[in-house]
Amino acid sequence: MPFQAFVRWLLPRETHFYENLERQATLCNEAATALLLLFPPASLPLVEVKEKISALEHLADVQVLKMEEALAKTFVTPLDREDLRQLSGQLEDVTDLMNLAIRTSHLYGLEAPFREMQALSETLTKATALLCEGVGCLRKHEYGALLEINRQARQHEKAADTIFRQAVSELFANEKIGFKELLKKKEILEGLENAIDACDGAAETLSSIAVKHG
């Protein structure tokens, strides 16, 4: 039996840690998918989408509290304690940033979603789907797959950065757009890009776990 497998055999099977992280990743993806409801063919009202994402963000907060309680009660964890806490916090950040972006859209009275907002939302959905896949690998100890997932997450982060920079450049070049409208759209796009950056950070943590335990 390989040494790492022998060590895992000795450790207690605290599966609730994996279940918690998997639930958090799923909530991230559900929130990102809800964002897409703003755009055709669904084209739901902004307030309705905001309420959906707010509810998902609340459920994500509950999972973070459960993780902290579990860490406080468990002496030996299946992964490093700090890695569990860090990954849980990063997944929470993803959902929080999506919630902030949609709340900003509502607060600023966004009249209609726009093309670049949709492009970033689609990228965010792909990035959160990757996190679901990556977190699922932890329970199965498929650490090799996490390195490839981290690479793909980095590609999504770079794509989002390109979309964001191009969008901001076009906003400032557009002489017909008012200053308030420019700042409104820029802040919304910035919030979505930050959520994608947070996905990349979580994928990096998964990669670090893979190096430690693979």
Query: Per residue in 68-92, is it b (16+ CB within 10 Å) or e — as a string?
Result: eebbeeeeebbbeeebbebbbbbbb
Dump pLDDT digits (tens) for 159-197: 999 999 999 999 999 988 998 999 999 999 999 999 999
CA distances from 60 to 29, 41, 93, 173 (A): 11, 27, 10, 39
Dump pLDDT digits (tens) for 102-122: 999 999 999 899 999 999 999
pTM, two decimals, is 0.90
How many distinct helices (H) and strands (E) make up the chain? Answer: 7, 0
